Amino acid sequence: MVATLSLLILGCYIIYHCYLQIGVIKHSRDKNSKLYCKILLALFIVCNIYFYAVVDIRFPLDLILMVGYALMIGFFWIYHLFMKKIFKAETTMRNIDITFHEEKGSLHEFLRKFFHFFVFGGSLLFVIIYTLATFSIFEQDPNFGAYIRNPMWEDSIFAPLNVDLLYVSDIYWPRQMETAMMVFFMIALPFAIIVENFRLDPGKEIPFHILFVKSLRESEQHNAAHYYFFIFGLFISSVFLPATCVFGILCVLCFGDTFASLIGKRVKKNRHPIKWEPQKCWEGAIAGMLFTFITAIFFVGWFLAFVLGLIFIIFDVITPNKLKVSDNFIYPLVSILVLVIIIYGFGFHIDAIIGNWFADLNETFISLAPDLIY
C-alpha cells in the first residue's frame, strides 16, 4: 500500500540503482563475478516489486526512503565532482595493499569481519528502534495508520496523482518486525550498490577509499567485493523470510564464518587440512558450525540453528576452490531456499527466545493498529 506519486518517485530511484548495477557488471572482469551480479540484478528487481506491493509505505516512511536515496546519491556525486573540479584529482583505481595483507594478516581479517558484525548490530538496533518508534506513534495517534497519502503533495499540482495504491498478497504479508528488517536493507543495499559502482568505475572518485585498499583481497580489485554479495543476500532473505530467520543467516555469516577463520588459523599442531581446500582445516569448519548453532539458536530455535550449521559446514568445505563462488553469495541463497521450504512448505513454527519476543512485538503492533492489513 503506497501513494501512487511516492511510488513513481521511488521507482525512478530503483531504475537508477539498476543502472548502477549494470555498471558494476560492466566493470567487473571475472566472468563468474559478472554472472553472479546479473543474477542479483534480476533478484533485485523482483524483490523491489514485491516490497512495494506488500509493505505499507505510509508517510513519513516514503519520505524517509526518498530523502535517504537522494542524500546517498548526492553525497557520492558531490564528492566526485569536488575532487575532480577543485583538487583536479587524477581518477585511478587504488591498488589493493598486498603488503598490508601479508604483514598484518590478523588486522586485515578483522577489518573484513568487522563489517559483518557492524551490519548484525546495526540491523538489530534499527529493527528494535524502528518498531518501538512505531509503537509510540500509534499509542499517541491511533488514526495515524489510516493516512497513506503523503501530505506534502496534497496542495501541489501533483495532488491528482497522490492516490492510494492497494494490493493484498494471498501468499505472505510481512508484519512489523519483517517490515522493519526490509526497510533497513532497502537503505543498506542501495548504499552498497553506489559504493561498488563508484569503486569499480575508473572514471569516478570514491570517498574513504583507504578502507577498500586495506580490507579487500586482490581478487576483489576489479570485481564486485564480497561484502556486496553479503548485503544482497541479506536483502533477499529479508524480503522472503521472517526477521528472526534473517538474523539466523547473519549468525552464519558473522559468527560461523569468523570463528571458522580465527580457529582455523590458530590451530598449528595436529591440524587436519581439508584435502580439496588446503587453506582450510576441519577444526575451523567444525568450530564455525558450532558457533553458528550456539548463536542462531536464540533467534530460530535449535532445529533451524542445526540446519543453518549444516549449511555452513557443507559449503565452507567446498568454497572457493571446489565450488568457485563467494561464500557470502552462496550461504544466504541456499539458506533462504531451505528455510522457505521448511517454514512455508511444512508449516514449521519458530520457538526461540528472541524469535518469540519478535512474535510478541508483532502481536502488540496488531493490537495497536488493527485496521492495517496483514
Write out pLDDT tens, residues 292-323. Answer: 999 999 999 999 999 999 998 888 888 767 77
Task: Scan for cell 566493470, then name that residue.
Answer: 27
User: How many whole angstroms separate alpha carbon 263 and alpha carbon 265?
Assistant: 5
Regarding whether 315 and 210 lie in a shared domain, the answer is no
Q: Which of 26-35, 139-148, 234-243 has the lowest mean pLDDT?
A: 139-148
Residue 147: per-residue pLDDT: 45
Regarding whether 274 and 228 lie in a shared domain, the answer is no
Residue 95: per-residue pLDDT: 66
Of residues 165 and 140, more confidence is placed in 140
Residue 23: per-residue pLDDT: 94
Q: Is the pLDDT of residue 165 over 50?
A: no
Regarding whether 128 and 174 lie in a shared domain, the answer is yes
State the residue range of the domain holding 248: 243-349
Q: Record the pTM.
A: 0.84
Q: Is the pLDDT of residue 84 over 90?
A: no
Asked whether residue 261 is domain-assigned, the answer is: yes
Regarding whether 130 and 64 lie in a shared domain, the answer is yes
Q: How confident is the model at residue 69 (pLDDT cuts 50, 70, 90)?
A: very high
Residue 296: per-residue pLDDT: 93
pLDDT average, residue stretch 227-235 = 90
Q: How confident is the model at residue 71 (pLDDT cuts 50, 70, 90)?
A: very high
Q: How confident is the model at residue 112 (pLDDT cuts 50, 70, 90)?
A: confident
For the chain, give the longest Cα–Cα distance: 74
Of residues 204 and 211, more confidence is placed in 204
Of residues 177 and 306, more confidence is placed in 306
Q: Can you name the residues that pair with 277 across neighbouring β-strands? A: 274
Percent with pLDDT over 70 in the chain: 79
Q: How confident is the model at residue 166 (pLDDT cuts 50, 70, 90)?
A: very low
Residue 164: per-residue pLDDT: 45
Regarding whether 42 and 174 lie in a shared domain, the answer is yes
3-state secondary structure of 277: strand
- Enumerate residues 6+ apart whose C-beta is below 8 A from 262: 109, 284
Asked whether residue 373 is domain-assigned, the answer is: no
How many domains does the chain divide into? 2
Residue 142: per-residue pLDDT: 63
pLDDT average, residue stretch 223-242 = 89
Task: Tell me the CA distances in angstroms from 187 to 179, 211, 265, 304, one per residue in order.
Answer: 13, 21, 35, 28
- Can you say whether the dihedral through the CA atoms of 259, 262, 265, 267 is positive or negative? negative
Regarding whether 165 and 31 lie in a shared domain, the answer is yes
Question: Please, what is the average pLDDT of the chain?
Answer: 80
Where is 278: in which H helix or E strand?
Answer: strand 277-281
Regarding whether 283 and 217 lie in a shared domain, the answer is no
What is the dihedral angle through the alpha carbons of 6, 125, 20, 50, rounded to the nearest 10 degrees?
-50
User: How many whole angstroms separate alpha carbon 153 and alpha carbon 58?
Assistant: 13
Asked whether residue 289 is domain-assigned, the answer is: yes
Q: Which of 120-129, 353-362, 363-372 has the lowest mean pLDDT?
A: 363-372
Q: Which of 104-118, 239-253, 308-322 has the lowest mean pLDDT?
A: 104-118
DSSP state of 2: E
Regarding whether 43 and 131 lie in a shared domain, the answer is yes
